[in-house]
Amino acid sequence: MNATAVVAEDEATLRHQLVEQLGQLWPELAIVGEAADGVQALRLLDEHRPDILFLDIQMPGATGLEVARQASGRSRVVFVTAYDEHAVAAFEHGAIDYVLKPISAARLFTTVSRLKERLGSPPARLDGVLAQIAPAQKTCLRWINASVGQNLRLITVDEIHYFQADNKYTRVVTAEAEALIRKPLKELVEELDPNQFWQIHRSTLVNVAMIAGVTRDFRGRMLVKLRKRDETLLVSDSYAHRFRQM
């Protein structure tokens, strides 16, 4: 049975080695995408919907665990990891396979054999397995899916200038574009890194890294000036204290 796969590994040499070994052990497997970070892996997951995801657990942008959560029930997951405790815990539950770094051809052959056997059945839900691999801990929101016209776009929080409540939606504003999400500002406040995003108004959250400066209008109201954006954002009195040191 022909199958498709995405390989996500931030170390280029290891990624190329894995792709090469897969080509030797499973010539029929089509590698439809390679990712150097977790965000790219998420995009390839949505674009290609591969049968299999080979995921490094520790990646920039989004971890392999975060990508695996999005792949749950959609793709089979194989963790590529240097951390044996993660791998063994995952493998004992059977829903996730693994290969350890440095990659062993013999271990990869075993993984390939198991994957071939399981391709006839639907991919498993991974929620329970992932919860046992990663202890419950607060992880800040690192990317969002937002509507841009008729399309859905994956946006990392690092590229967002600000969020602003807009009726039933929340506007997501980047340097060149705007998008909409249904998540209310109140939820975003709880999910975003408070050191990265400051609430400056009951309807506005701003990315601190995108602040170019602070000014006042003729009425004495405080305004935030942004990098690469022409508009200014109003700061309400209750949040003005954030800028007293600037």
The sheet with strand 232-235 has its strands ordered as 211-216, 222-226, 232-235
Which of the two residues, 136 and 235, has the higher pLDDT score?
A: 235
Query: Residue 167's pLDDT is what?
Result: 84
Task: Indicate whether 16 pLDDT > 60.
Answer: yes
Task: Indicate whether 91 pLDDT > 90.
Answer: no
Q: Whole-angstrom Cα distance, residue 35 to residue 239?
A: 40
pLDDT tens, 24-77?
A: 999 999 999 999 989 899 999 999 999 999 999 888 778 888 899 999 999 999
**What mean pLDDT do residues 146-175 have?**
91
Task: Indicate whether 85 pLDDT > 70.
Answer: no
Query: Residue 99's pLDDT is what?
Result: 87
* Residue 237, token pair as written in the block: 């009195």
Q: Whole-angstrom Cα distance, residue 77 to residue 87?
A: 12
Task: Indicate whether 137 pLDDT > 60.
Answer: no
Identify the structural domains of the chain with CATH numbers, from first to last.
4-133 (3.40.50.2300), 143-243 (2.40.50.1020)
> Helices 64-71 and 38-48 meet at what angle, rounded to 10?
20
pLDDT tens, 184-223?
A: 998 898 889 888 999 999 999 999 999 999 999 999 899 9
* Residue 51, token pair as written in the block: 């049968």
pLDDT band at 136 (very low <50, low <70, confident <90, very high): very low
pTM score above 0.85: no
182 neighbors 167 (Cβ within 8 angstroms): no
pLDDT tens, 97-113?
A: 888 888 889 989 999 99
**Of 218, 216, 214, 222, nearest in space to 238 by CA:** 222
What is the secondary structure of 136-148 as a DSSP string? -------EEEEEE
